[in-house]
Structure 1
């Protein structure tokens, strides 16, 4: 589709509002006041961290304990307060990072005020503002077109229609659409919440949300935990308060001591903290994470699709050679190229290189234009020279403008093999509004361009190869040229011309699995290629900076845009590299892997505790005995074997690629681990009751059971901490030393009600723990073989 308009200088210009008119509209509230939330507000952060189901349960139990038991048995409440405070603080820090980065990456439209073009913030737009836009610009409010110069707008994010829509003066433009070719201006008719996209979503830049398996998995786990807790807790309450004739305070303490450890209260906290710290770390590297689960999503990626221009190569280019064809006059060709350059008010990188090389063309008068489009692969213009000679010229891909067998194509291919980009200048006798405008065109010259490789691209591609992430280069440029650039960067694999790809999804997916570099890809094909890869079970990330990447970025599992890219790409991407450095991607991948891998580790720790707590409660109910622990005992155990270690393990480096089935992977370890710990502890408790029957010392029985549970929990921690590094060994050892200190220091013994009596029972507890540890090792290895994920 084309739109041939008279030059802007021949149309009455829309000058826009005056400062007085702007102030009047602001006073009337006719401002684009749609809130842009890069993160949750402070109030939302506090509510999300404080008012949770489990905080309510723990809070009520804590208040009861403060009333009926010593302060030692209420320590779990102070731990919850500290954890909640840490969660709020970390998310607030992440919010500050996100908000500051969002300002940097914010869309800033150009408006006409007082007859001049000025750049303003999106929130400063008012009704009737006249905005200018060009290729890649996003329409941020609804309006009506007042100027159009070959203007084509993509409304696919709103309507689902992939074909660009030609816009002429008087046509409506909708917020959420973006310019794919040409330029123009429009007057705002609806701003703020009245705009079309704002009615579809509170934020016009987002239309899809990243799925977080981690968060949904944890929600599923918490649902299971609730189902297990309720019957166990009810049975425990009845047993301890009514079946046993114990002191009320002691019965309440032991009842609550059995309920509190069932709640994996720190799991949600550590997940939030891990995400928040990830945002802070990436923010320091100028990486804006527009949707937090995107960190997790990129860690699961096994295929990354790279656009060559702006990703593997820098945006700029240089003209290295001009080759006249068929005896054409080189001086005249330079003037033509100069005229083509000056005729386009919004040149792309290729045309900008031509403008820099051939600035002489201002004496030519343009009578028509055909803006560059990624779908067409060429641009054009019609001129009327001062001497009366007229001409229509096209500049674009040689293999699109020429027929097969043309001698110029042979020369073009030879240059492409060197990694050079080649454009062809042709003259046509047809009008620019003719769909076959290139048919029968006469070749005049080849323009050879050299692309600047990003110095960090080779290292980044090497990183992906080492991490078993397949890189696919998808470009609209000539396939041979793109393949040569990829080869220079050390990327191995076959090169494919996308025009020869099967149209049906299965065939395309097979070709994509076999190939590595794909050239002459249209924007719609990019989108189809992402879908084809996903149909094969791949988790796909798409990087890009141009308007031709928008559809693919939107459909990919994770879209990554360059900060200097078009407004449209930044709007639909989940991650924006504000420093325009492709080398930042490994940091994002590493951060995601750290979060997922480590949360999987610590989730196992928390849920082992939940399983053995529920099992102990059920065993106590069945045997009709006192619950073996007071809250202080389990607070000590949880702090040393879960709380402190989990914090360090959750924030440690982790390069393992994230694997699916989070719930299954966690539960297959937690259930056998919790069962072994619960049974071994209860056996020790029953033996201790028999051993100390004459002494009547519940403290001695509790101490023996505590020793067993601590040793087994330490072994679970030791397994989870693998593979060992010096700091992990130190972490596990220091937790063991801390427990020994509690057993040896008299006032700590008294504070935590721990005192090992005699010689036989402590060694029995150690022996049962050793047997349980061996059982854990055997059981977890069997689970790995029997239930692989």
Structure 2
């Protein structure tokens, strides 16, 4: 097949099928979401669910069926978690489908748009300006300039002709061509250089780490505690088998914070869906938490502070020509050349009127020549490009002016005129400078506000770029970045010690290599920082993978999107404050709700151990814990966990949770111990002791809820009083169902002092924990 035939026809359907059968398909390394079956299985078969089913089986065995009500909560929790995760999966899959890259391919003489993963070896790609090269290929026809900055970090475009190789991950800057795919899948250049990033990285999640520890500690302790408690009640105290089983099950159910794991997943899944509506694709749940805790944010200049496009700042005349003459020359030249590079697009953005000039010859821009130009029938020749390449020895006449503006971070182009025609691609003999066109990267509209947001939140910004450090620093300064004058050329950082010193001292880093990006992230992490990084190129992949939280732009390379935890689908850095605020809402609310769960778990563990040694029956039944859990934990936790909250995250997750949960847990435990010692010595019945225990524990749980609801608003007030009302109604009108009895005067004489003591004890324990435990933690 000749080159012309391959471009016009491409592969036939039979050739495509043959390659597919041999496995010569590009494929994809994209992260896949769980299937619906996997989600259902993962939510159904959990250690907590297995344990609760085993406990339910014991209840069924002794025929106390009303005490199975706790399984209703377990089933509801499992359903809620499954439904939320499936909804999150569908949202992510839909967004991934929208964002999935496509390739223009010629097959059977027809141009088609195909998903990148469907490409096969020898496919003919149709590439035009702005397209990303999605597989290594060879140019077979046409000519184009390629930007390989996403791979190498170098911004200058490279001219490619027939026979030249195009690397996956590069972009077509100008021109067009058709190219034959020569590598697929793992053989692609981009895949080879990112293979070091293909490793599983443990999420840097404080919440997940602590929840896993809690599960492990409870898992190790629950069997021996349950065994000893049952042995003591049945064999030593001689209680009936049914009561011993029900009491043991109640103790173990109380120790299991089954809702905490579910609540965490639900809250984060809701956050994923909320962010999806704002064009942010979260590929890992716990990255929301990590980003909310970030104290150092590494940014590239392009795509974050700037829009990735150029703008014309000014046109400075160097001759006696009028402004109209200069603008006519510029408009005619840009219209004639018809380039699609950033410079030409920036000049088009001026909206200059194009004169009716007829051209006789034109020369497209080349990165080797550094200029472009055209000869017009009546107006002579006009040239546009780098002054030193156009004027050569005469450049000294304007060099001072060019350096002055270059130092301000601007790109300076020379417009020059010659009365002589351009011969081939050679400069005319006589050239006169006409004007300087000053361009700069267009700063995003919201860049200043976004950078100000992070500065106000105490997040340290590091701008890392492969461009000239002076240029980068000036752009950062225009965008309002604090300490933008603290700039360094990274090519001068020769050792790791140099990099360590620079990481703390400097804000802007220019001429940074891909390896230095990775090393800089590592150094910042070693210095105790929680690091987030934004990137869009293959050269950013290793650093993105190393960071605690990685954010990619949808307009960037496929490799950067694959390894990143968050993808900004609109490629707008202004979305970052919204993501941070969503993370804060999730984590702050989870801390409040987690404290409610741990009150129950700590209290249950303490009294379960105590009742191994106390000569009295365990005072609770599972049905009673179901009531207490519903009004003091279950319902409030889900309502509180989904409300707005933008407070800055401070301190350790577990310390924040423990300072709220320990006072309530210790108050409950102390009151139950006093209650049992007094009531048993006065020969109260088991049912009477159980009733008083439920009242004291429920009251203390509501006290904890009261503290968690601070600061009070209408929603919090309604929640607290509604839960209190439900508890009171249950105590008054549903006594038989919850195995409660009527209160007698002797019971009231014990209860009233204990309830008053609960309020005082809560304040006392809170004061002790703040002054002693929290002081040591700091």
TM-score range, shorter chain: 0.7 to 0.9
Q: CA deviation at 1:468?
A: 2.0
Q: CA deviation at 1:40?
A: 1.6
C-alpha distance in structure 2 between counterparts of 1:172 and 1:733, whole Å: 72
* 1:563 and 2:566 matched: no
**Contact 1:307-1:474 within 8 A present in 2 as well:** yes
Matched residue, 2:775 = 786
Please list every run of 5 or more consecutive structure 1 residues that lacks an aligned counterpart in the other structure. Answer: 1-8, 372-378, 428-440
The within-5 A match list for 1:471-620 is 471-475=461-465, 486-487=476-477, 489-499=479-489, 502-503=492-493, 504-517=495-508, 526-527=517-518, 529-545=520-536, 552-620=543-611
Matched residue, 1:243 = 236
Q: CA deviation at 1:463?
A: 2.3
Q: CA deviation at 1:156?
A: 7.3
* 1:370 and 2:367 matched: yes
* Aligned counterpart for 1:119 among listed residues 103, 113, 117: 113
Matched residue, 1:741 = 729
* 1:89 and 2:83 matched: yes
The secondary structure found in structure 1 opposite 2:534 is: strand
**Contact 1:138-1:568 within 8 A present in 2 as well:** no
**Contact 1:138-1:178 within 8 A present in 2 as well:** yes
Q: Deviations over 1:97-150 (max 9, x none)?
A: 111111122122232334565432224323432235689976655666767856
Taking structure 1 as reference, are residues 198 and 582 closer, same or farther at Cα in structure 2, changes over 3 Å only? closer
C-alpha distance in structure 1 between counterparts of 2:18 and 2:360, whole Å: 43
Matched residue, 2:449 = 459
Q: CA deviation at 1:44?
A: 1.2
Q: CA deviation at 1:486?
A: 4.6
Matched residue, 2:305 = 312
Q: Which moved more, 1:417-426 or 1:234-243?
A: 417-426
Matched residue, 1:762 = 751
* Aligned counterpart for 2:696 among listed residues 708, 726, 730: 708
Q: Deviations over 1:15-64 (max 9, x none)?
A: 56345346634884855555855522101111111100110010121133
**Contact 1:531-1:555 within 8 A present in 2 as well:** yes
Q: CA deviation at 1:250?
A: 2.2
Matched residue, 1:674 = 665
Q: Deviations over 1:428-447 (max 9, x none)?
A: xxxxxxxxxxxxx9999632
Q: CA deviation at 1:299?
A: 0.7
Taking structure 1 as reference, are residues 500 and 91 closer, same or farther at Cα in structure 2, changes over 3 Å only? closer
Taking structure 1 as reference, are residues 750 and 574 closer, same or farther at Cα in structure 2, changes over 3 Å only? closer
The within-5 A match list for 1:147-546 is 187-188=180-181, 210-323=203-316, 347=341, 349-354=342-347, 369-370=366-367, 380=370, 395=385, 408=398, 410-412=400-402, 415=405, 421-423=411-413, 446-449=436-439, 452-475=442-465, 486-487=476-477, 489-499=479-489, 502-503=492-493, 504-517=495-508, 526-527=517-518, 529-545=520-536
C-alpha distance in structure 2 between counterparts of 1:414 and 1:600, whole Å: 54
Matched residue, 1:109 = 103
C-alpha distance in structure 2 between counterparts of 1:711 and 1:502, whole Å: 66
* 1:17 and 2:10 matched: yes
Q: CA deviation at 1:598?
A: 2.2
Matched residue, 2:48 = 54
Taking structure 1 as reference, are residues 669 and 113 closer, same or farther at Cα in structure 2, changes over 3 Å only? same
* Aligned counterpart for 2:766 among listed residues 754, 770, 777: 777
Taking structure 1 as reference, are residues 139 and 607 closer, same or farther at Cα in structure 2, changes over 3 Å only? farther
C-alpha distance in structure 2 between counterparts of 1:231 and 1:656, whole Å: 41
**Contact 1:16-1:111 within 8 A present in 2 as well:** no
Taking structure 1 as reference, are residues 336 and 722 closer, same or farther at Cα in structure 2, changes over 3 Å only? same
Matched residue, 1:431 = none
C-alpha distance in structure 2 between counterparts of 1:305 and 1:136, whole Å: 26
Taking structure 1 as reference, are residues 590 and 345 closer, same or farther at Cα in structure 2, changes over 3 Å only? same
Taking structure 1 as reference, are residues 162 and 342 closer, same or farther at Cα in structure 2, changes over 3 Å only? closer
C-alpha distance in structure 1 between counterparts of 2:36 and 2:194, whole Å: 22
**Contact 1:307-1:475 within 8 A present in 2 as well:** yes
Q: Deviations over 1:535-560 (max 9, x none)?
A: 43222333355677656545443333
The secondary structure found in structure 1 opposite 2:102 is: coil
Taking structure 1 as reference, are residues 605 and 367 closer, same or farther at Cα in structure 2, changes over 3 Å only? closer
Taking structure 1 as reference, are residues 572 and 619 closer, same or farther at Cα in structure 2, changes over 3 Å only? closer
Q: CA deviation at 1:369?
A: 4.2
The secondary structure found in structure 1 opposite 2:436 is: strand
C-alpha distance in structure 2 between counterparts of 1:443 and 1:509, whole Å: 47
Q: CA deviation at 1:670?
A: 4.8
Please list every run of 5 or more consecutive structure 2 residues that lacks an aligned counterpart in the other structure. Answer: 418-430
C-alpha distance in structure 2 between counterparts of 1:18 and 1:353, whole Å: 39
C-alpha distance in structure 2 between counterparts of 1:590 and 1:507, whole Å: 35
RMSD over aligned CA atoms reads 4.9
Taking structure 1 as reference, are residues 711 and 247 closer, same or farther at Cα in structure 2, changes over 3 Å only? same
C-alpha distance in structure 1 between counterparts of 2:3 and 2:316, whole Å: 35
**Contact 1:180-1:547 within 8 A present in 2 as well:** no
C-alpha distance in structure 1 between counterparts of 2:314 and 2:730, whole Å: 80
**Contact 1:287-1:576 within 8 A present in 2 as well:** yes
Q: Deviations over 1:233-258 (max 9, x none)?
A: 11112123322333322222111111
Name the count of aligned residue pairs: 748
The secondary structure found in structure 2 opposite 1:232 is: helix
The secondary structure found in structure 2 opposite 1:561 is: strand
The within-5 A match list for 1:632-711 is 632-659=623-650, 661-663=652-654, 665-666=656-657, 670=661, 674-691=665-682, 693=683, 696-711=684-699
Q: CA deviation at 1:361?
A: 11
**Normalization by structure 2: what TM-score?**
0.81
C-alpha distance in structure 1 between counterparts of 2:773 and 2:399, whole Å: 58
C-alpha distance in structure 1 between counterparts of 2:546 and 2:336, whole Å: 36
Q: CA deviation at 1:656?
A: 3.2
Taking structure 1 as reference, are residues 528 and 641 closer, same or farther at Cα in structure 2, changes over 3 Å only? same
* 1:98 and 2:92 matched: yes
